[in-house]
Structure formats: structure tokens, C-alpha cells
Amino acid sequence: MSEKKKMKFPQYISTNLRTISVEGFISEEGDTNYIENKGYIDKDGYIWIYSKEKPKGMKMDAYPYFWFNEDNKIEFNNVSDFIKNIYNTNNLRDIDIVSIIDKTKEGEVLYNEEEIIDMNASSNFYIPIIKESDDFLKKVVKMIIIEKGINIKRLKSKTGMSYTLPNMITALNNDTKMSVNYFVSWMELLGCSFEIVIRDNGTDKVNPLKHDHIYENDTNKTIMINGNKEVEVDMSKYYMASKQ
């Protein structure tokens, strides 16, 4: 019996922010009878979420999608191997209520308290959702997490307190603007450096900025680009003199 015939639907695949109901297989005969926002399995065992239209914006890279183009041909978005490996049939769960009842014996204790704590601590990968309303610092952090394909829960040991990383994730998910301190902390956790480039945009004709300035996070230095030369800026001359 083939693997397709053995599998019963719906199955489910879950991440921290989203649980997808998987309804069947992607048809090789050109079937178009798919349900929007439901998952379907390709011939290689990867799960793709059906969308009536091509997803827009940066969220397109956060989940595996498929849709039909103008020629009624299936198209898939380009997601990282990390995300594809999460959305794989190996990670499917049958959580249909009838199945749960059938498989559970009366009075059976499935897990003890310590096991439950361990499972919660090592739960599914966190995949951030990038929203258009996010400020630019949040968009950068979320994009880096997705691009690195990293399970950020393994970084918990790098933070000083056990609650630090959960608080940072909560702040990343809510609608408040990201602070500079949180942004710097995220960059350190993710092993990334950053530069801030300031250049004149041509709108101020009276007092234009004559040279590009680059702040380097790693060195805490500011560089001025004068022609083809990089000149370190002496920031001390801009500091306010301390009161005597």
C-alpha cells in the first residue's frame, strides 16, 4: 500500500504562531480544488499552503505557499531550506478529536510534570511574521531570524535571565515599536553586526550634508566618506563639555 493511501486527513503541522490543517496532496493532474490557507503535500513530502493569489510583501518568505498563475499553472514561493524542513510530512500530527479518543486509554497518564515542562521548553520553532505596520528595526530582526533559519530558543543560554528571551520574543510579536536597546540585543544574540549609513537625500538645498557618514556598531566608530577616502570622525568634539 502506498504512503498516500495510508495517510488520513486532516493532519496538522504547528509552529509557535500558526497551526495549519493539511487536507491532502497536490494533484499532478492539474486539479484546482484546493481550500485557501490549507496545507497540501507535494511529491517530495513538503507541505505548501494554498493561496488564491500570490502572497505579497515580506510575509511571503515566512511560510511555504503555492498558487495558480494567469496560465493556470501552479507556482511556489522561494522559502529557505530551514522552513521547508519544518513544513515536512515528518512533522505532521494527527490531532483529530476522534483519533485522540481512539488512541487514549481511560485513566492513562501520558506525561509527568517534568516531561511536560521539557516539551514546552523545547517546543516548535519560532517563525516571526513580518507585518507592514512593523517599524524598520522589527522588520530587520524578523528578516534576519527567517534568513538565518535559526531556532532562537537555543539562544536562551546566552541571555542573563531565563525570562529575557521570552520577553524579547513577546516584544517582537506585539505592536509597540522596537527600542534601540532591544535591537542591539537581538543583533548580539543573532551574531550580526550592523552599520548605519547617513547620506544626503537632496531635499535640503540650503544646508546639505556634504559627505556620507557611516556608524559601525562593532567598533563604535563613525566614518566620513570624503571622496574615495574614509576618514574617522572625532566624536569627542561634538560632546557637550561637562560642567566644572
Cβ atoms within 10 Å, residue 19: 12
- The widest CA-to-CA distance across the chain, in whole angstroms, is 87
Strand partners, 224: 213, 231
Domain ranges of the chain: 3-97, 128-188, 195-238
Asked whether 62 and 128 are in contact (CB, 8 A), the reply is yes
* Interior/surface letters 211-242, b for 16+ CB within 10 angstroms, e for the rest: eebbbeeeeeebbeeeeeeeeeeeeeeeeeee
Q: Is 88 helix (H, G, I), strand (E, B) or coil?
A: strand
> Distance (Å, rounded) from C-alpha 80 to C-alpha 145?
11
E-strand ranges in the chain read: 11-14, 19-25, 39-41, 47-50, 65-68, 74-76, 195-198, 212-216, 221-226, 229-232
Q: Is 107 left (phi over 0), alpha (psi -120 to 50) or beta?
A: left
* pLDDT value, residue 107: 56
CA dihedral sign, ordered 102, 105, 106, 107 = negative
Written as tens digits, the pLDDT of the chain (244 aa) is: 345 556 788 888 876 557 788 999 998 776 678 999 899 999 999 999 999 988 876 556 678 999 998 888 899 998 888 788 889 888 887 655 445 445 555 555 544 444 444 444 444 567 788 888 899 999 999 989 888 877 777 777 777 676 788 888 888 888 889 999 889 989 998 999 999 999 999 999 999 999 999 999 989 899 999 888 889 988 888 876 544 4
C-alpha cell at 45: 513530502
Give the pLDDT confidence score for residue 60 in this predicted structure: 66
Give the span between the Cα atoms of 185 and 36, in whole angstroms: 38
In one-letter notation, the amino acid at residue 72 is N
Distances (CA, A) of 74 to 20, 67, 115: 20, 6, 43
